[in-house]
Amino acid sequence: MVSHATTDIAIGSQAAMSTVLRILKGAVAAKASDVHLRVDQPPMVRIQGELLPLEHPPLEDALLTTATHALAAYAEVHPERVEASKQLEFSCAIPDVGRFRAHAYRQRGSRALVLRHIPVPVPPMADLRLPPVVKQIAQERRGMVLVTGATGNGKSTTIAALLEFINESFCRHVVTIEDPVEFVFADHLSSFSQREVGPDVSSFQEGLEGALREDPDVIFVGEIRRQGEFEVALNAAESGHLVVSTLHATDVMTAIQRMIAFYPQDRQLGIRTRLADAVAAIISQKLLPTRGGQDRVLVTEVLRRAPSISDHIRDASRFGGLPKALEAAFHEIGTHSFDMKLLGMVRSGVLSLETAQAAARSPKDLVRAVKLNR
């Protein structure tokens, strides 16, 4: 016989999950990128980069606890692990709602959740307004391809679009190492092996080392954070594989400096030489509000491997001239600097001068160039 107390708990759980599903459905319909759920606060959503509160009563602790367990169950995370973890990452697909990357954590002794919506299917490159050169980068057979930018600037989606282009165009074995798996790829021309840190492999470094024995053509590692991981990835790129990853860096020069900084001073000259040979491309990106603020537009800076560009990486005394080298090679191989793209968008009316100035490496030069065109 089921007690009244048990029945009340079940009904309460259903009501709590129903509330969360309504919030998530509304967020997806509003094209929100992220949903924030905290105790004693109304839900918040991030739309076009802005965090906005919903007209909704403050959330209760029991609701957040129920929601965390229910969402984790979609990802087949054991309830004991959910209860024991002070913070937990997982991806989950909710029928008739969507796929999300979830981060469950505790703050001030209570549950909290941030859920990022993962678009399904993977958006094509044209929809993301990626420059045509990215398709050429996807055709590389060896070397390191990095997508860099601040959190929330679309790095994961760009990489997913690049991998899906490979999937639809070439016969490759693509091995991914992620924490957690975000975009799920169905095999087309390519074959995907997607490994998640935790359930499938103990760490990024172990996954990278294992991937080299799995006959890969392309290796995607979710993010390079440590010198050990970077060394394995660099070795893989040098040995004839295409290695794709993300790095938190604002632009191409900062990305290269971060990679060099993984190593002590006495090894940095040698690392410059290795990077000059191994880096096939770096795509740095920012999402900026368009003129009028109704939308956001992707602005990119792109480096590709070429003798003139490799020389600027190899020689520290020439490194400061790298942005100009990217601009000079635009017509030949499609490389460009942020400032070059920003100038074009101001001239075409897509961006305001104020927005472009705030994002430029050389704001004064940008303003001068805009005035010369008037």
CATH architecture of the domain with range 125-336: 3-Layer(aba) Sandwich (3.40)
Mean pLDDT score of the chain: 92
pLDDT tens digit string along 295-322? 899 999 999 999 999 999 999 999 999 9
State the pLDDT confidence band at 222, using cuts at 50, 70 and 90.
confident
What are the residues facing 302 on neighbouring strands? 283, 336
pTM exceeding the 0.75 threshold for the entire prediction = yes
Q: Is 102:71 a contact under the CB 8 Å cutoff?
A: yes
Cα 191 to chain centroid, rounded? 22
pLDDT at 2: 43
Look at residue 325 and tell me whether its pLDDT is greater than 50. Answer: yes
Q: Which phi and psi (to 5°) does residue 15 adopt?
A: -65, -40
Contact assessment for residue 211 and residue 233, using Cβ atoms and an 8 Å cutoff: no
DSSP 287-312: EEEPTTSSSEEEEEEEEE--HHHHHH
The set of residues, in sequence order, having a beta carbon less than 8 Å from that of 171 and lying 6+ positions away, is 189, 190
Q: At 373, is the pLDDT very low, low, confident or very high (cuts 50, 70, 90)?
A: low
Residue 359 has pLDDT above 80, yes or no: yes
CATH number belonging to domain 4-118: 3.30.450.90
CA 200/CA 177 separation, integer angstroms = 9
More confident residue, 166 or 12: 166
CA–CA dist 344, 338 (Å, integer) = 10
Look at residue 4 and tell me whether its pLDDT is greater than 80: no
Percent of the chain with pLDDT over 90: 81
The residues spanned by each domain of the chain are 4-118, 125-336
Q: Give the CA count within 13 Å in the CB-facing half-sphere of 43.
A: 22
Tell me the CB-side half-sphere exposure of residue 162, using CA atoms within 13 A.
32
Separation of CA 273 from chain center: 27
pLDDT category at 294 given cuts 50, 70, 90 is: confident
Which helix (H) or strand (E) is 201 found in, with range? none
